[in-house]
Amino acid sequence: MKRRLTIISIVAGALMLLTFIGSGAIAHLSGAQAAKPQCMNGFDDDSDGKVDYPADSGCSSRTDKIEYDADTTPPPPPPPPPTPGATSWNPHVDRTPVVTTIPFIIGNQLASCGGASEDGGGFPNHLDGTEGATQGQPIPSEIPSDIAFVQVNGVRLESTNRKLWGAGSDGDATTNASDPDRPDIGNIFMKGIHLELSRHWGTIQLDDRSILGPFLDPYPTQTVWPAAGTLVDVQGFVRWDALHDASTGHYCSGWEIHPVSAWRLHQ
């Protein structure tokens, strides 16, 4: 009789334990314990094989209500403000440039293609569209006085989106450029910009540092932009060209310095 009572007690205890465990699981699944943060509830809520803080990287603390891993990639750093201007290198451009940086021009707001959006740009007073009134333009007289005229120092010319003068229908000479001083920005789309020299009034600096230009037809025979990897200083007008905001060759952004009024080897 005593042995039978012992067996009954063991079975009853086991049933009580199973009932307790089952009720806890049911309560969790049913949301009865919803008030308990996921990062301390003892369950693998996001099914990644890690449970609660600090084992699960999706938990910032024990009181974190959500266990899943969010996107931890930081947004591009905010751009620095522009510095006071210098003087125009092109005698046909009687304006004072604002010395600035590529990240400030394009801003730090991502668009759907992965490049910079127009809304985040640092110069709302920019040109809009592809060209001026006629092919190979605009010329200075076409550009309103309030349009941002900038100088960007020490940009690195890239091998992408290059076109020599006369190679296309518009007569412009193009290249892409990026900011080599921002290794903290891993996405080149967010530290790069497209550069265009309009054929009728661009200037370039030769290897001996002499200035040639402004150019007129016929086109010069030499390559307008130096080799990819060269550091240059650039002056020109800020533009948004929406025709290219989905093109990877244009850094998935419409931002340009176009027209470039002059460039020189980086000083």
- pLDDT tens string, the chain, 267 residues long: the values are 545 545 445 545 544 544 444 444 444 444 444 568 888 888 877 666 788 888 887 788 888 877 766 444 556 666 777 888 889 887 778 899 999 999 999 999 998 888 999 999 999 999 998 765 554 456 676 789 999 999 999 999 999 998 876 555 556 788 999 999 999 888 899 999 999 887 656 655 556 766 555 554 444 444 578 889 999 999 999 999 998 888 899 999 999 999 888 888 898
- Sequence length of the chain is 267
Helix (H, G, I), strand (E, B) or coil at 194: strand
* pTM passes above 0.75: no
> Rounded distance, CA 214 to CA 126, Å?
23
Structure tokens given for 65:
């209500």
> Rounded distance, CA 26 to CA 96, Å?
72
Closest CA to 212 of 227, 197, 199, 202: 202
